[in-house]
Amino acid sequence: MKKFGGGRPLRWRMAHLVKAFRSPKTSLGSLDAEAAGTLIAASSDVALALGEDGTISDLAVQSDELLEGLEGHAPWPGRRWIDTVTVESRPKIEALLRDAASDATPRWRQVNHPASGGGPDIPVLYSAVRVGDEGRVVAFGRDLRDISALQQRLVDAQQSMEQDYSRLRQIETRYRLLFQVSSEAVLVVDALTQKIVEANPAAGFLLDAGPEGTPRRTAGRVSGRAFLQAFEPESVPALQALLDSVRATGQADNIRVHLTGGKELAVSALMFRQDGASFFLIRLSPVQSGAAAAMMPRLKAMLLKVVENAPDSFVVTGQDGRILTANAAFLDLAELATEEQARGQPLERWFGRLGVDFSVLMASLRQYGSVRLFATTLRGEHGASAKVEISAVAVVNGDQPCFGFSIRNVDRRFSAEPAATRELPRSIEQLTELIGHTSLKDLVREATDVVERLCIQAALELTGDNRASAAEMLGLSRQSLYVKLRRYGLGDLAAEDAN
């Protein structure tokens, strides 16, 4: 701690302080300049002894780090106090000196000192008091950097919360709009009371239709009603069994029931939790009339014909990944003569990296239900190879669960920009600039790190941030992948470490 130097006698003028000592001579005794300087230095983070014209004659600072930040390479003694602060703080220094000269009640004012190293300004809270009859002034300062840092953290936290709230409001708006405009009847039912919490307009019109099918009420009038009361008594046990199955296992098969009035519906349900409570998300679909049902086989036949003649390959497999059926485009791509050659064979047989790509694809498909634009290569029976993009979906409902794969040949796809103009990663450019300044051994190590990081990033992107699948794709153990993720600062591992 830097203390005041010299032996200048200082006498306090306490007449205008808010609460002064009642008998300072009795309680404090006769203090010499050294004792007064020690008291002043101990009472503040920064203390300045000023002449009548505001020139700093001496100073005391509590820490060397603060002194270095304030003074830097230009010591303060001999300089004017007003010259040590930023431009916007100069009027405050003038006000402090003016109040001290007029013996007004001391006021605290925050000023900013420019940091010596070019960093952020150093905020200090000052109060100035005139001492003695010679016009000397003592300024007491409190370091506000910690408070300023806390305020900045509070502002950052508030901004982060506002961004999260804004994002959540946008998501809620989009899904509420989708909920309202959907032509399919959707209900949200409380799992405990089995009362309707919310219904979209389609559900309100369906549940409150009149004898001729004319809607009588809006969706808002449906809310609060018991869900089961809208159905025929003989349909209630099946509905209750559906809800119990969803509550117990999280899934159940679709059922057909009748509304009060006789209209037949297909009902499916899911369960979700929100704010500590459980709710059912129930979808109601009117069963098609006899004429529409008779039309369905024709429409299905048309759809199958379109799929069979589509230019993109389409394959249906069982849960074991073996082909059940494939269209003509896939047979051409796989260089097969007939569908019988493909039927019963594992689809991964034609994938580029046997046992890797297909495993990653199937893992993502089982986890998320669908996969889009999975990039890989497909090999034909006679050695031809093509780059493909795969979109897949899992069909788990029905008599025979299966997987559908749409495979598109992208060999002839033109890039958005010529390959010659694509820039290398910035880190590679920096490595080439080091040639001649760094040894080859260090350059090779740096290049290896760059390539390794890029490969890990690409694997994470291909697997949708599924680290187990990414480790398998890269031929690493999960522990090795986590070590490399921490080494390169990839992914958000803080939450996993906390767990």
Tokens at residue 107, please? 């006021």
Q: Which residues pair with 67 in a beta bridge?
A: none
Q: How many CA atoms lie within 13 A of 457 on its CB side?
A: 11
Classify the C-alpha dihedral 192-198-202-206 as positive or negative.
positive
* Spatial strand order in the sheet of 109-113: 56-61, 46-50, 136-143, 122-131, 109-113
Model-level pTM? 0.38
pLDDT tens digits, residue range 371-390? 888 888 888 888 888 888 88
Percent of the chain with pLDDT over 90: 6
Neighbours of 77 (CB within 10 A): 13
pLDDT value at 152 more than 60: yes
pLDDT value at 149 more than 80: yes
Lowest mean pLDDT among 13-22, 57-66, 449-458: 13-22
Distance (Å, whole) CA 141 – CA 195: 65
pLDDT tens digits, residue range 155-212? 889 988 988 888 888 888 888 888 888 888 888 999 899 899 888 888 888 876 544 4
Residues in Cβ contact with 187 at an 8 Å cutoff, skipping those fewer than 6 apart: 196, 198, 199, 200, 203, 227, 280, 281, 282, 283, 284
pLDDT tens digits, residue range 435-464? 655 677 777 887 888 888 888 888 888 887
Identify the pLDDT of residue 66. 82
Q: Please tell me what DSSP assigns to residue 82.
A: G
Domains of the chain: 24-143 (3.30.450.20), 182-287 (3.30.450.20), 292-409 (3.30.450.20), 421-498 (1.10.10)
Tokens at residue 195, please? 């009362």
Residue ranges of E strands in 168-320: 185-190, 196-199, 255-258, 264-274, 277-286, 313-317
Identify the pLDDT of residue 428. 60
Q: Please tell me what DSSP assigns to residue 424.
A: P
